[in-house]
Structure 1
């Protein structure tokens, strides 16, 4: 009697495991199909757009959340993308290219991998003077066709919270890869007040990428406000990813310098939105921050 019980129990356990594995496989297949369908639906926009590269940017301002999405085709095989981005230390190298990121360190432990990220001004700063955000890093999926990396953080600076950075990648023909980057965070009243102060002073002339109309001179007018902030930062993170991928094949001794120079060159393609300082200022600041990233733990 007892033997039959244990045999039945093991059979049930096996069925649950098989069913769970099948469901997980179906979910990954669905994710691939969904992302490829999105690529097909954006084919015309990827071919013709203001960015002069296969890229589409969307943003949204919700009552308590800001969100940016970028869809792009990169000229790198899926295997190269996976090798480069399926590593938390590489994500620190990516994030440090962003002009506001002052430091990043990947830490293994319980309950999992975390990225300790310091975010500050567009100038050199001591770490003690800048805000720290702790991202949980996770690989949601990694198959021969599909990669999904998720970074999230409960708390952020100045009334922001619930940060999400999510990257999906799917293989395309001709050694290309289709990427979907999501960047979003929640905002409370204090965060909105701080943003309004920022937008009314130092950032009053800054805009995003979404075209809202044409001026009297026929030139495009771009969205401003908090959506403009979100679009600029989403683009900065995307250009950091693309730059990191582009430098992956460079000799190790020149890789960091290539990333810095290439990221700055990429942002200067959109000076209306992204220009903040000259090349020498950016490169000197980031060289020092990269050295600090290697020596401070």
Structure 2
């Protein structure tokens, strides 16, 4: 008997690819480093010291306290508004995408091709192109300057629907659904008890995309909202920054930068906690068995 030894090939190294990856890494990390370092500086140090190093006084905690105390604590209100918009908008968009994607993948009905074309068309159209028509429609319905003006547009996610459609096709075996139907289970019970757990990785992926989209939403709240108490974080920090550049306005660049740092912390935590689900959701369906 002869034993054949199979040697594993070492992965090839490309100096050019390593260099390009390093450049991309620096490009991505450098603004974050600047943001973190700038958040530790006082207003004077921020304007008078080197941007990529600490200032004379470590003022991070004082800046955080001042950010939450400025203008009677309006920043805390913006945080709660953003969390509410994310829970209602991103959560609702994810659930609707799961329902619609599962239905399109597992039910055969007339018009599926037309729906597919509409979904692809929705992905191709940039949201800014629909901003003005959406504003005019909401203005006629009297929904502008209300939370609904931010939540309702967030519920429509063509890209999320497409992801759930393609993911449901492979992740949910048709045989399991037929077995549950034979046992007398209803369609909604089948979806929530059987299909939904199987769709968890894909759901997390869509949820993260929707979370980032709603959390960083700026243009739609800008044209929809006038009441400062309804602002999300992005629009609130923009108003502070615009105030700092206005003649006679308070120069609060330190608070704008500290608020920006606080804004990205929840997104970073969400990605770190859900990373393994996100990666498995992206890879699912890529290998045909």
Q: TM-score, normalised by structure 1?
A: 0.25
Higher strand share: 1
Relative to its length, the structure with more helix (as a share) is 2
Q: RCO higher in 1 or 2 (8 Å CA, sep ≥ 6)?
A: 2
Q: Report the TM-score, using the length of structure 2 for normalisation.
A: 0.25
